[in-house]
């Protein structure tokens, strides 16, 4: 196999990896915020339910969670899912997993804010929602950005776990080519893809952090 054909085949897998990455972030970041609110709720039933969900998501392997999401409907509920459910199962599994991690990051950032800021906002006539959206959240984003960046970089590498339910992302493509051609070159090229992807994301997040430096 020529190097150009190798790049072409891996690029197809890379597109799938990027789709998993983008869709996971698109849904898990806002969902994580709502989960964080549930985790901090004064309602003990809601708080403990969310706490259990986070504990399960963080305490079990993502690979196992993907298998449960994909095979669960059939083996647990005897429901046959459509063929295109495979990719959807990957997105559901990734979103539920990363939302739990982002929720704890959000919670740490929100709870680190001084109580005086809430009291000052109340004196200025801000409602609770206005206080959070205009005063608290911008500062929380600045504080949690390094932790969020670490999770995002981990997500890039975790996209390779989609192979467990036979979604042909880049690592799966590299493994198939390496097996067929008996060469390590596909893995080397895939590693470079992951590194460049990580580098670009890290650069963007660092740029964003500098832009938010006025909150210091």
Mean pLDDT of the chain: 89
The CATH number assigned to the domain holding 54 equals: 1.10.3720.10
Domain count, the chain: 1
pLDDT digits (tens, 9 = 90+) for 42-85: 999 999 999 999 999 999 999 999 999 999 998 888 888 888 89
Rounded (to 5) percent helix, strand, coil in the chain: 85, 0, 15
In angstroms, the CA 87 to CA 175 distance is: 19
Question: What was the pLDDT predicted at 170?
Answer: 84
Question: What was the pLDDT predicted at 1?
Answer: 63
pLDDT digits (tens, 9 = 90+) for 141-155: 888 999 999 999 999
Nearest-CA neighbor of 186 among 171, 168, 169?
171
SS3 for 1? coil
The H or E element containing residue 93 is: helix 85-111
What average pLDDT does this structure show over 174-196?
Answer: 86
In angstroms, the CA 82 to CA 111 distance is: 43
Which domain covers residue 79, as residue numbers? 3-215
Q: Kindly tell me the sign of the dihedral angle through the C-alpha atoms of 33, 34, 39, 40.
A: positive
Nearest-CA neighbor of 110 among 139, 87, 150, 85?
139
Please return the burial class of 54, using the count of CB atoms within 10 Å of its CB with bins 0-12, 13-18 and 19+: buried
Question: What was the pLDDT predicted at 108?
Answer: 92
């Amino acid at each position: 196999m020529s190097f150009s054909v190798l790049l072409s085949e891996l690029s197809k897998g890379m597109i799938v990896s990027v789709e998993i990455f983008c869709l996971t972030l698109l849904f898990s970041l806002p969902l994580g915020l709502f989960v964080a609110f549930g985790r901090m709720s004064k309602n003990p039933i809601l708080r403990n339910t969310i706490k259990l969900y986070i504990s399960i998501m963080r305490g079990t392997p993502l690979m196992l969670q993907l298998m449960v999401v994909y095979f669960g409907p059939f083996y647990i509920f005897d429901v046959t899912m459509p063929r295109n459910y495979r990719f959807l199962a990957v997105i559901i599994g990734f979103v539920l997993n990363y939302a739990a991690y982002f929720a704890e990051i959000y919670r740490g950032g929100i709870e680190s804010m001084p109580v005086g800021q809430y009291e000052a906002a109340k004196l200025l006539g801000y409602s609770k929602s206005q206080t959070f959206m205009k005063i608290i959240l911008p500062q929380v984003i600045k504080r949690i950005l390094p932790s969020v960046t670490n999770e995002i970089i981990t997500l890039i590498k975790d996209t390779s776990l989609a192979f467990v339910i036979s979604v042909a992302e880049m690592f799966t493509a590299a493994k198939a080519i390496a097996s067929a051609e008996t060469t390590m070159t596909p893995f080397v090229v895939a590693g470079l893809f992951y590194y460049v992807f990580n580098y670009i994301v890290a650069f963007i997040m660092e740029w964003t952090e500098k832009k938010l430096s006025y909150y210091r």
